Structure formats: structure tokens, C-alpha cells
Amino acid sequence: MIIAANLKTNLTRVDTKEYIDNLEKCVQTSQTQNEVLVFPAMSSLLAHEGKVKVGTQNAYATKNGAFTGEIGLEHLAEFSIKTILIGHSERRHILKETQATLVEKFNFYKELGFTIVYCVGEPLEKREAGKEEMMAYISAQYEGIDTAYENLIIAYEPVWAIGTGLTPTLEDIEAIHTDLKAKSSAPLLYGGSVKVANAKEVLDLQNVDGVLVGSAALKVDDFCEILKN
Ligand code: PGA
């Protein structure tokens, strides 16, 4: 299983270092076989050696250059980071990244052999519009993406379930994951209000290969509980 923490715009550099050190201890002592990924805030990126893999929540499709407010390959290489989150709903909806931008990013970091956690998921109005419209919306998020890329991980995260405490039913998660597995055989994570109390039942579902956790990952002890599942 792949258990990933998206720390978003939380935890300072000092807090992040402590978080990752404690998480590494948890991984080592629990002897979990799970693959553990952490995505800290940009200014908290750090070089870490151990079982916990550190990735970036974002980077521009460039080595360096004039892209104010962005970081590029050079800044990731400084910390030996080779994992990137692309297409998170907050980047799509709040930061207005288009599918074309995401595809450009995807291709740039794919060429470099990065592990890419690529996120897809529908807003509430698409879910309420019925299965056909919902699947058409999600399918459009696969456009231009090399679904056979060997270092690809996909995360299905319904937008309305992120940070809200709401989740689809277990049956719904399993059904959508089964449909999405037909589009790509890459490992498929579920994300959206995963917490200690529901992680195990989600991870037990067919075609769920892991979870991407936001709020509930902010406390390292909780995230440690989740990955021990
Ligand atoms: P959440 O966030 O666990 O707080 O719902 C998940 C995510 O945004 O990846």
C-alpha cells in the first residue's frame, strides 16, 4: 500500500523536520511494508534519507528561469526530491491550473523519471449530475496524461470530500476505483477525508492501493496510526 501525507500550507520548516523524523521512527518501529510519501510545503522541503520519501506539492515545468513565485528542477534536485504531486484539486480549482498546464508539467517531470502522483476527482455538481457526466468529467482529467507511465500513481479525490469530513460510501469508492483501474493500471489511491477511523475500511477495498491524507496527516501520531493499518 502507498500511504501519502499532503501537508498543504501547514508546518514550518522546523515543524516539518520534526514531523518527518518522527514519522521515520514510526515507519522503522512498526516495520510497515507500506510505502510512505510526504508532501511538505515548498519552503519546508528537505533532504531526507530513510524509508519516508519526500515529494513536492508543486513545481514549474522548468529547470530554473524567470517564473516568479515558482520553483523548478534545480530546487528539487538540491534536496534529491524525485516525487511530485500534480493536478491536486486545490491547484486545479483555487490556483486555476488548466489541464494543458498539468500535462506540460506531467511531461516535463516524466521525462526526468519522477514519481508522479496525479490527482483526479469531481466537484459535487458533477457527482450530482449522474454517473455518466461525472465519469466524463473525470475522463477529461486523463487527457494528455501517459497513463502507462511506469512511475505513475493516481489519486482519486472527490473535490467535495476534501477537508469536509464527507466521504463517498465504501461501495461508491470501490465502484469508481474499479472504473478508473480500467483507464490505467497504475496504483490508485483514494483521498478525501481519510482519517484514523476510516482508513482501514478504505484500504481494504478492491482496487484501492493506498490513501492520500490531508487534515488527518497533520498530526504525526494520527498519520502513523493510519500507516500501521
Ligand atoms: P483531506 O485532504 O484528507 O483533508 O480531505 C486530502 C487531500 O487534499 O489530498
Question: Taking the domains of the chain in order of start, what are their residue ranges?
Answer: 2-228
Q: Which three cell numbers stand for residue 104?
A: 506540460
Confidence of residue 229 (pLDDT cuts 50, 70, 90): confident
Q: Tell me, yes or no, if 157 is annotated catalytic.
A: yes
Kindly give the distance from the C-alpha atom of residue 153 to the centroid of ligand 1, in angstroms, as a whole number. Answer: 16
Active site residue 88: yes
pTM: 0.97
CATH assignment, 2-228: 3.20.20.70
Gap from CA of 68 to ligand 1 centroid (Å): 27
Nearest to 113 by CA among 85, 67, 149, 148: 149
Cβ atoms of residues 196 and 226 within 8 Å: yes
Active-site choice (97, 157, 174, 225): 157
Query: Which pLDDT band, with edges at 50, 70 and 90, does 207 fall under?
Result: very high
Please state the rounded mean pLDDT for residues 106-135: 97
Is the Cβ–Cβ distance between 46 and 16 less than 8 Å?
A: yes
Q: Which of 189, 206, 208 is nearest to 5 (CA)?
A: 189
pLDDT averaged over the chain? 97
CA of 32 to the centre of ligand 1 (A): 22
